[in-house]
Amino acid sequence: MPQQPLVPPRLIAHRGLSARAPENTLAAVRAAHEAGCRWVELDVQLLGDGTPVIWHDRDINRCSNGRGRLADLDIDQARRLDAGSWFDAAFAGESMATLEQMLTLIDELALGLNLELKVNRGRDPKALVERVLPTLLDALPAERLIVSSFDATALTQARRQAPAERLPLGALFERIPRDWATRCEAIDAYSVHADWRRLRASRARDIVQAGHALLCYTANDPAAFATRWEWGVHGVISDDPTHFR
């Protein structure tokens, strides 16, 4: 195991403070900061022209006033979208954030960032990593950064570009597989990120005993989640982390 460069974050705002602002936007990150959150989790993908943007879905239908695939947009088209009105009229005119815009804000607010490399169907994980990682590593120190992904190729490529002491990597799983330890060893993983509803006590304790940080997504009910703390879980990714204080 590498020397851990950061203390595992206890509370992380999922896609920014997505319970109170449109997810993955600058507004959601500002809301997280105003609510006292110290870490945010966000998703990054590439537009069709290669611009990295903060976005979760394969398409723009759910979280904007447009329709179509993210991969079919260039930055000029993306900037014309309203990514806030779908959530609430108060956020009308909120733009899709580029990675550079988001990193500037996160640095200004001195927040920690769990950035998920989002590899949707038909997208190239290596291209995503090669475009995102240099900008990311220039912007944030290791003690304020975790890069995670469900995609093994993306994680492998990320590790090739930066050592563990510079880039803490998180292996994301829906249901933690039997070979989780082998997968984590292959990328020198800092953390394991698990669906809290599918996590089992014995597996949680094995992960913690192996020296990994264990983070759970996406929990919004502190009472239902309470037993997971007893299993050794280090942190929770929540739409509204203030409920867990």
Backbone angles phi, psi at 108, to 5 degrees: -60, -40
Dihedral Cα 100, 117, 143, 224, nearest 10 deg: 120
SS3 103: helix
Dihedral Cα 149, 199, 59, 31, nearest 10 deg: -90
């590498």: which residue's tokens?
A: 2
Count of residues in the chain: 245
In the residue annotation, 243 being an active-site residue is answered as: no
Retrieve residue 117's tokens: 């490399």
Interatomic CA distance for residues 83 and 23, integer angstroms: 9
Are 197 and 237 in contact, with CB atoms under 8 Å apart? Answer: no
Catalytic residue among 14, 193, 212, 234: 14
Catalytic residue among 33, 56, 193, 234: 56
Q: Which of 64, 43, 16 has the alpha carbon at shortest distance from 123?
A: 43
Please identify every residue annotated as catalytic.
Answer: 14, 56
